[in-house]
Structure 1
Amino acid sequence: MRQMQALVASLVEAHRSRRLIDEAQASGLVPANADEAYLVQQLVLAKLGGCAGYKIGAGSPSAEPQCAPLPAHKVLGAAAGIRRADYGWIGLELEIAFSFADDVDQTFAERAEDALDAIDTMSVVVEVVDSRFAAWPNVDPLLKLADFQNNGALIIGDTRPYDRSFDFITPQVNFRCGEHTIASGRVHHGAGDPRRLVAWLVSRMLQTGRSIPARTLLTTGSYTPLYMANEPALVQGEIAGFGAIEFHIA
């Protein structure tokens, strides 16, 4: 328990001060298991304010997903942009996020699979990948999970009504940072259909007695390789037949 409390305190301080946790300190803070890492997420979130979203990911179509809450102050409209100085790293990933018009609560407990039919909107988003650990990415996976699974921010672009017929598995995309093309053409989602991640999160939340409030953004993993942005730049992303996103890194 003392070690877990130390990890929570270290992560909260790193968020607030933007001073990274050094490798020697991190080695003594590794959670015992995934359940403890998820508990650390919730305790850190409680210190930072409310939750405005979740990130969900899986390494393959058959892999068990993982998730992390997104602090409300780090879910941003594209017009706001971001500042390089606010992050240890700025990794960029182009994703799709979903939301519900109404709370997903215990009325879905016996029919979690119906939650997909309740999706109301989908958004083009960019996840900013960041870490509170100086040795990142060479950090224990359980520390990464505790640290909001390396989330720095979620930037929201075009939002439209949910279209269940859209090709979520292999869309056409264009994604640029400044003069660098990160991805262009048809891409494949690593988890298969990303909506399976939404269904998984709904089931997990209901099993733990929690709900997903209306308009909570559920971002579902990257369509593009992780790109590390080291300089101020204009970031532009487009998912064909869906929408676009554009914001500045200042």
Structure 2
Amino acid sequence: MANTQELAARIVQARRTHTLIDPGSLASCKPANADEAYVVQQLVLDELGGCAGYKIGAPSPTAAPQCSPLPATKVFGAATGIRRSDYARIGLELEIAFSFAEDVDHRLSEQADDVIDAIDTMSVVAEIVDSRFDGWPKVDPLLQLADLQNNGALVIGDTRPYDRNFDFSAPRLSFYCDNHEIFRGTARHSAGDPRRLIAWLVARTLETGHSIPARTVLTTGSYTPFYIATGPGVVRGTIEEFGKIEFEIK
């Protein structure tokens, strides 16, 4: 436990000071497995003031997902914009997030179809990807998992009632940073239908005896190539037949 506490303290300090950690300095406190990385996540979150969401991802339609809580102070609406000085780097990804109208607890079936049918809203979101480690992305995956899966912030755009008939596996979309086209066309999600990630998170949460509060934001991974913004500008994303997001990097 002391090792997980040491790593969590280093990550929290890096977040607060906007400095980077040398992964080579962590030989004594690197997580031995995913369970230890998840312990570090919770210790970091406790220091940062609580949870407003989760990010969930999987590299393929059959791969096992992983997740991370999102600090409440780093989940906000697009009108707020983001400040470059708050991040070591500003990576941009366009995603879809979901939420439930009621608390997710033992009253909800663990059957995937029932979980998906209970979704209440869906939102166009952009994840700000950042890492507390020098040399990223060439960093041990367990360190990245401990570091809230490289989350910097989540910016929320248009939100609408959940549409179960929307094509979540291959939507048409566009994503720009100023005049730079990050992506335009039909996108493919690495996890296939990203809603399977929601069902997985609910099952994992219920298995551990916990719950997910109503309106917790659950974002499900990028539809677009990863792009690092190098200066101030305006980020614009559109998912056709769904909605938009627009925010400023100050």
Q: Does TM, scored on the shorter chain, surpass 0.5?
A: yes
* RMSD over equivalenced CA pairs, Å: 1.1
Whether the 8 Å contact between 1:8 and 1:40 is mirrored in structure 2 is yes
Indicate the residue corresponding to 2:103 in structure 1: 103
Aligned equivalents of 1:145 and 1:191: distance in 2?
18
The whole-number CA distance in structure 2 between the counterparts of 1:22 and 1:50 is: 26
Matches within 5 A, 1:73-222: 73-108=73-108, 110-111=110-111, 113-222=113-222
1:16 corresponds in structure 2 to 16
Q: Aligned-pair distance for 1:29?
A: 2.8
The one-character-per-residue Cα deviations of 1:122-173 (angstroms, maximum 9, x if unpaired) are 0000000001111211110000000000000000000000000000000000
CA contact (8 A) 2:112 2:196 kept: no
Contiguous gaps of at least 5 residues in structure 2: none
| TM-score, normalised by the number of residues in structure 2 | 0.97
Post-superposition Cα deviations, 1:59-83, rounded to whole Å, max 9, x if no partner, equal 0000000000000000010000001
Distance (Å, rounded) in 2 between the aligned partners of 1:88 and 1:244: 26
Please give the secondary structure, in 1, of the residue aligned with 2:190: coil
Percent identity of the aligned residues? 66
Q: Give the SS at the match of 2:202.
A: helix
Tell me, yes or no, if the aligned pair for 2:110 and 2:203 is still in contact at 8 Å. Answer: no
Give the distance between the partners of 1:110 and 1:3, measured in 2 at CA: 34
Q: Distance in 2 between matches of 1:128 and 1:189?
A: 18
| 1:108 shift after superposition | 2.2
Which amino acid in 2 is paired with 1:181?
A: E
Deviation per CA, 1:185-235: give whole Å up to 9, x if none. Answer: 111111000000000000000111111100000000100000011110100
Q: How does 1:228-247 map to 2 (within 5 A)?
A: 228-247=228-247
Q: Which runs of 4+ in 1 moved over 2 A?
A: 26-29, 108-113
Amino acid at match of 1:246: E
What runs of 5+ residues in structure 1 fail to find an aligned partner?
A: none
Contact kept? 1:104, 1:115, Cα under 8 Å: no
**Rounded Cα–Cα distance in structure 2 between residues aligned with 1:29 and 1:180:** 40
Q: CA–CA distance in 2 between the matches of 1:217 and 1:199?
A: 14
Q: In the alignment, is the contact (CA less than 8 A) between 1:26 and 1:133 conserved in 2?
A: no
Alpha-carbon distance between aligned partners in 2 of 1:184 and 1:155, rounded to the nearest angstrom: 20
What SS does the aligned partner of 2:157 have? strand
Does the 8 Å contact 2:70/2:148 carry over to 1? yes
1:220 match: secondary structure: strand
Q: Partner of 1:107: helix, strand, or coil?
A: coil
- Cα distance in structure 2, aligned partners of 1:57 and 1:13: 26
- Partner SS, residue 221 of structure 1: strand
The count of aligned residue pairs is 250
Which residue identity lines up with residue 181 of structure 2 in the other structure?
Answer: T
Q: Distance in 1 between matches of 2:77 and 2:115?
A: 26
Cα deviation 1:23-81 (Å, max 9, x = unaligned): 33234431010000011101110111110000000000000000000000000100000
Q: For 1:13, give the aligned amino acid.
A: Q
| TM-fit CA distance, 1:111 | 4.2
SS of the counterpart of 2:222?
Answer: coil
